[in-house]
Amino acid sequence: MILSAKNIIKSYKVANEKVNVLNGINLELFDSEFISIMGASGAGKSTLLNILGTLDSFDSGGLQINSNIINNNEDYSTFRAYNIGFVFQFHHLLHEFSVLENLIIPQMLIKKNNINAIHNAKNLLGELDLINLENRYPSQISGGERQRIAVLRALVNQPKLILADEPTGNLDKENSVKLLELFNTIKENYKTTIVVATHDEFIKNYTNRNFKLNCGILIGN
């Protein structure tokens, strides 16, 4: 098992008032799965993804990722660099760096030496048919290509888990399809588990399992 969440509860304090967002989330994720978490805007999808990604704290409950027990009191930045890749609605590539360099930078965080980092980045671009973009800058590629490179950046440190928050939110249909096909290729070829939070029902055509977040509870298979 790659991830286990047990009875996760999360509230925010807004102007002295407690707002419950997650009311007992249970979830188990296994190797090489592509999963969706659907829900209306404001349902708590981003909150849940941020908790699963150790980016946000939770009130109570249990969370284990790759057999590591996650609590609220530790700095998980190094853990994240090795174990979790993130994709967001906007690509967040660094504009002053080439595509290849954008794929090298995350590897510096896990202290890969330069030669290995370049080799890994080129390999990944080759394996996923994007090597033609290696020397371009983000401004010189299309929006769909930028998002696909953002996915490769999430993958470059070979995490077992990729969390994607509305990754197709800014893409047209054609580029959404390409992104979802890329996720499926990655799932198959690298045995990565991918979780997509989305309100786009269309994504269900590509996933193995689907959950719905409603009233702070996750329902699905």
Residues at the interface with ligand ADP (CB under 6 A): 12, 14, 19, 21, 39, 41-47
Torsion sign across C-alpha atoms 97, 180, 175, 127? positive
Query: How would DSSP label each residue in 184-221?
Result: HHHHHHH--EEEEEES-GGGGGT-SEEEEEETTEEEE-
In the bound state with ligand ADP, the residue whose beta carbon lies nearer, of 46 and 207, is: 46
CA distance 36 to 190: 19
Instruction: Look at residues 6, 93, 1 and name the one whose alpha carbon lies nearest to residue 51.
Output: 6
Q: Which residues contact 167 (CB under 8 A, 6 or more apart)?
A: 87, 88, 89, 147, 151, 179, 196, 198
Interaction partner, residue 218 (Mg ion, ligand ADP, none; CB < 5-8 Å by kind): none
Among the candidate windows 5-13, 26-34, 40-48, 111-119, which touches Mg ion by CB under 5 A?
40-48
In the bound state with ligand ADP, the residue whose beta carbon lies nearer, of 56 and 134, is: 56
Interaction partner, residue 73 (Mg ion, ligand ADP, none; CB < 5-8 Å by kind): none
Interaction partner, residue 138 (ligand ADP, Mg ion, none; CB < 5-8 Å by kind): none
Minimum CB–partner distance for residue 47 and ligand ADP (Å) = 3
Q: Is 46 in the site for Mg ion (CB under 5 A)?
A: yes
Q: Compute how many residues bind Mg ion; rule: CB under 5 A.
A: 2
In the bound state with ligand ADP, the residue whose beta carbon lies nearer, of 39 and 85, is: 39
In the bound state with ligand ADP, the residue whose beta carbon lies nearer, of 13 and 111, is: 13
Q: Which residues contact 50 (CB under 8 A, 6 or more apart)?
A: 56
Minimum CB–partner distance for residue 188 and Mg ion (Å) = 27
Per the CB < 8 A criterion, the answer to whether 220 and 195 are in contact is no
In the bound state with ligand ADP, the residue whose beta carbon lies nearer, of 44 and 53, is: 44
- Do the strands 3-14 and 17-29 form a parallel or antiparallel pair, or are they unpaired? antiparallel
What is the SS3 assignment for 167? coil
**Contacting positions for Mg ion (CB under 5 A):** 45-46
